[in-house]
Structure 1
Amino acid sequence: MSSSDIDFVAALEEQTNLNFQLPDPEDEQIPEMEFQRQVDTAWRVCDRFDLQTEIWRGRILRAVRDREKKYGDTRGSGFLKWLQEREISKSQAYSMIQLANSADKLMEQGQLDPDTVRCFSKRAFIETAKAEPEIQQLITDAAKKGDRITRREVRQLADEFTAMSSDLLPDTVKAKAADNTLPSRYLAPLVREMEKLPESHQTVFREEVAANPDVDTLKQVTSEARYLAKYLDAATNVQALDEESVDLEKALEEALRIGCINVAADLVNQASQLEQTIAKLYNTWKKIGSLADRLYVDTGASTPNLRSLLNCLEQLGGEVVEVQLGSGERTIRLQIQEE
């Protein structure tokens, strides 16, 4: 037996037997808190092994793929066949390979060690791997202390970093976040929305938050910034607004002043979607006409059913398109005219 085989057998012998003694869900003598504690402990152990299994599967898949790249054909058919035999999709395989790459990278950088990985849930580790290096450092530092890392902790640490590192928030707000008088979870969404806006609008919102650094103001400003970004993005795509002398900035200022920016943003966004739908409708209408003409040429007295199909679809290929809504209670007719 080779040394690699011996290592493999040893690894199998060291595997933990996941055989939990779960609490009886019908036992009234078990307090609710104790029941939740026991099932949560079992769940976390499964989560840990799930993560480690996915990382090692990713490493195995990476080895098989790299071997095929070097010695197989250029199409990678050998790797695909290997996946098919194990009923693994290509997307699943590369997802596991990416997870393994992330784990190896964090370990090579000294941010993680094998024991620290056990502190992560699978989803938390994946989110950490996608995060910015500074956020990764915060998360791995917490894991090294033995803290349990779930997606909730990842989001919390990411929000705290976003809030404290952004130049878009005034110092008074950052100070309140630092002493926990202002929850950081309300600051990160605001920063993300403000980043989408021109500097002039960022300044207005920054001043408003500085004047009233409280949760209600943060929620309101975040909502306004979100709708404002939607308004600005959609307005540039609406052709109807190019044909008229509309001052979009002044219209925006008026909407903000009277508190209806959400309605204005939705209106402009719906107008943009309607124009896109009309363009798509026109292209589909042209395609139906072209296909119907081709099929008409190929049909005749010997194909009465195909002719019947063409007759039924004629109402969708003519200048007037007719469609019934619902169970026929209302008929919609659209006239298409080309210029």
Structure 2
Amino acid sequence: MPPVPETPEDLAAALSEPADLDFQLPDPEDEEIPELEFQQQLDNAWLVCDRFDLQTEIWRGRILRVVRDREKKGGEGRGTGFLNWLKEREITKSQAYSLIQLANSADTLLEDGQLEPSAIRSFSKRAFIETSKSSPEIQQLVTDAANKGDRITRREVRQLADEWMAMSSDLLPEEVKEKAANGSVPTRYLAPLVREMEKLPESHQTALQEEIAGSPDVDTVKQLTSNARSLSKYLDAAAQVQAINQTSLDVEMALEEALRVGCLNTTADLVRQASQLEQTIAKLYTTWKRVGSLADRLYVDTGASTPNLRSLLTALERISGEVIELQLDEEGERTVRLRVLSE
């Protein structure tokens, strides 16, 4: 590890030998270069920049952590010095703590012995950030691959995460896991299904498990993922709709009937739109009350000397009064009128 420059002379010497990133990029107008080779050259250059950027960000995070911790120990305790340090370098507080978190993740992986220091070069910046946010099991899989020298991009991280989720989840029947193991059902299709099933009650999970066990293929997985997503949206939205909660409607039975007649997506969309409509009505009422209050205040504060302001109030009576009127088209052929009846 290179020493930290301690004097201006040391810093000048360090900067006199910058990192060698002088790439020989292909000529975009050279038609003799095959497209595959052209893309490969660019990809290689980009990968080097990505890795260099990652290690730079990690060290910046470590520097910021030192600045913060120094003030915690000997400063005023209010973070003023740290914030001033960020301000001078045009770094936002959120950016600073994001870098510190990245440095913390790197140090944790290194200290736990999961990751060899040289293996950090195998990561792209986004892949490392993705890994740092993953569960310990996923981190172990990724770092094992990095330690072996495999190139790690965000795509590899997600692929390993999908494989782990598919093979370890109790929600998938053994028949499906066997298909995943031999590659006939790719894990990239199974992971979304597991995520959606986790949101559902056990009764619906069981029904989906029985269906996929009977037909463990890609088409079934895709269809059940869509169904599970609609089920989840239906249940979430139904719990928020007052029009439903204020009745004795059996939400679960309505859902079963929608599944039986094949109109689950339509039903889920209807309930979701109903939830949005109620929220819109609540917002409309609040805004309407505010407009009326402001109009009343302005009426009191004005008089004959402000005829234009009075004309403004007159014009707004169409939407501030008990009856709200709005034209839906420029020709005025379609007009909606809403009457507000509040207790």
Shared fold (TM-score greater than 0.5)? yes
1:335 aligns with 2:339: yes
**Superposed CA offset, 1:111-146 (max 9, x none):** 123211111111111110000000000000000010
Whether the 8 Å CA contact 2:123–2:152 is kept in 1: the answer is yes
**Superposed CA offset, 1:241-298 (max 9, x none):** 2344422222211111121100000000100110111111111111111222222222
1:41 aligns with 2:27: no
After TM superposition, give the deviation of residue 152 of structure 1 in Å: 0.5
Q: What residue in structure 2 maps to residue 214 of structure 1?
A: 217
Of residues 299, 303, 307, the one that matches 2:302 is 299
| Correspondence 1:216-255 to 2 at 5 A | 216-255=219-258
Structure 2 unaligned residues grouped into runs of 5+: none
After TM superposition, give the deviation of residue 203 of structure 1 in Å: 0.5
| Correspondence 1:48-127 to 2 at 5 A | 48-127=51-130
TM-score relative to the length of structure 2: 0.93
Structure 1 unaligned residues grouped into runs of 5+: none
1:133 aligns with 2:136: yes
CA RMSD after TM alignment: 1.9
Q: d(CA) in 1 for partners of 2:55 and 2:16?
A: 17
Assess, with a 3 A threshold, how the Cα gap between structure 1 residues 278 and 68 changes in structure 2: closer, same or farther: same
Q: d(CA) in 2 for partners of 1:87 and 1:256?
A: 55
User: Please, which moves more after superposition, 60-69 or 175-184?
Assistant: 60-69
Q: d(CA) in 2 for partners of 1:3 and 1:238?
A: 63
Whether the 8 Å CA contact 2:318–2:325 is kept in 1: the answer is yes
1:199 aligns with 2:202: yes
Of residues 182, 185, 191, the one that matches 1:179 is 182
Q: What residue in structure 1 maps to residue 156 of structure 2?
A: 153
After TM superposition, give the deviation of residue 79 of structure 1 in Å: 1.9
After TM superposition, give the deviation of residue 328 of structure 1 in Å: 4.9
Q: Which one-letter code corresponds to 1:221 in the other structure?
A: L
After TM superposition, give the deviation of residue 8 of structure 1 in Å: 5.5
User: Please, which moves more after superposition, 81-90 or 180-189?
Assistant: 81-90
1:278 aligns with 2:281: yes
After TM superposition, give the deviation of residue 92 of structure 1 in Å: 1.4
Q: d(CA) in 2 for partners of 1:232 and 1:277?
A: 20
Q: What residue in structure 1 maps to residue 318 of structure 2?
A: 315
Q: d(CA) in 2 for partners of 1:276 and 1:20?
A: 56
Whether the 8 Å CA contact 2:5–2:14 is kept in 1: the answer is no
TM-score relative to the length of structure 1: 0.94
Q: What residue in structure 1 maps to residue 165 of structure 2?
A: 162
Q: Which one-letter code corresponds to 2:119 in the other structure?
A: T
Q: What residue in structure 2 maps to residue 17 of structure 1?
A: 20
Q: d(CA) in 1 for partners of 2:154 and 2:5?
A: 40
Assess, with a 3 A threshold, how the Cα gap between structure 1 residues 102 and 8 changes in structure 2: closer, same or farther: farther
Q: d(CA) in 2 for partners of 1:67 and 1:315?
A: 62
2:122 alignment partner, SS class: coil
Q: Which one-letter code corresponds to 2:337 in the other structure?
A: R
User: Please, which moves more after superposition, 132-141 or 93-102?
Assistant: 93-102
**Superposed CA offset, 1:300-331 (max 9, x none):** 23333333332222222111112233535432
After TM superposition, give the deviation of residue 65 of structure 1 in Å: 2.0
Q: Give the number of equivalent residue pairs.
A: 338
Of residues 31, 35, 48, the one that matches 1:32 is 35
Q: What residue in structure 2 maps to residue 269 of structure 1?
A: 272
After TM superposition, give the deviation of residue 14 of structure 1 in Å: 6.0
1:118 alignment partner, SS class: helix
User: Please, which moves more after superposition, 212-221 or 315-324?
Assistant: 315-324
After TM superposition, give the deviation of residue 12 of structure 1 in Å: 4.3
- Identity, % of aligned pairs? 72
After TM superposition, give the deviation of residue 70 of structure 1 in Å: 3.0
